[in-house]
Amino acid sequence: MGRGVANRRREGGVFEDFASSYIEGKGYRILDRNVYLLRKEVDIVAADGDTIVFIEVKGRRSQRFGCASEAVGTRKQKHLLRIADAYLERRRLLGKACRFDVVAVTLDSKGMPAVEHIENAFGA
């Protein structure tokens, strides 16, 4: 693995740590992180009460290239829908309520995170 890929993964893990702490603070329970199914990944799977929440984390060091939440396009949404179906089937959770959230983390010049949580960012 190249150094650039390793650095992006490490940095992605930092953004996911911020996002995990944030949603746990809101009362969510983390079920899984970095779930790979069908050669795709979902960053966080959590429970919000009885609802299974599939969370895509997007991080940015600035808003120079747009808001982090804008980075979840139609293609990524389709991947997340397929992953969710496979996850629910494998965990025998078919029929459970689920939704798709985006947690956008933007770091300021001092490295402090600003977190934006978009619940029900897109539907099935």
Q: What is the mean pLDDT of residues 22-26?
A: 97
Write down the mean pLDDT value for the chain. 84
**Whose CA is closest to 44, among 78, 67, 74, 21?**
21
Task: Assess whether pLDDT exceeds 80 at residue 17.
Answer: yes
Task: Assess whether pLDDT exceeds 70 at residue 90.
Answer: yes
Distance CA 8, CA 114 (A): 19
Sole residue written with tokens 């150094």: 3
Q: What is the mean pLDDT of residues 25-29?
A: 97
Edge-to-edge strand ranges of the sheet holding 113-122: 29-37, 40-48, 51-60, 98-107, 113-122
Between 58 and 45, the more confident residue is 45
CATH code for position 61: 3.40.1350.10
What is the total count of domains within the chain?
1
Q: How confident is the model at residue 110 (pLDDT cuts 50, 70, 90)?
A: confident
Range of the domain at 48: 3-122
Q: Which of 31-40, 66-75, 108-117 has the lowest mean pLDDT?
A: 66-75
Task: Assess whether pLDDT exceeds 50 at residue 32.
Answer: yes
Joined together, the tokens standing for residue 70 give: 């804008």
Task: Assess whether pLDDT exceeds 90 at residue 49.
Answer: yes
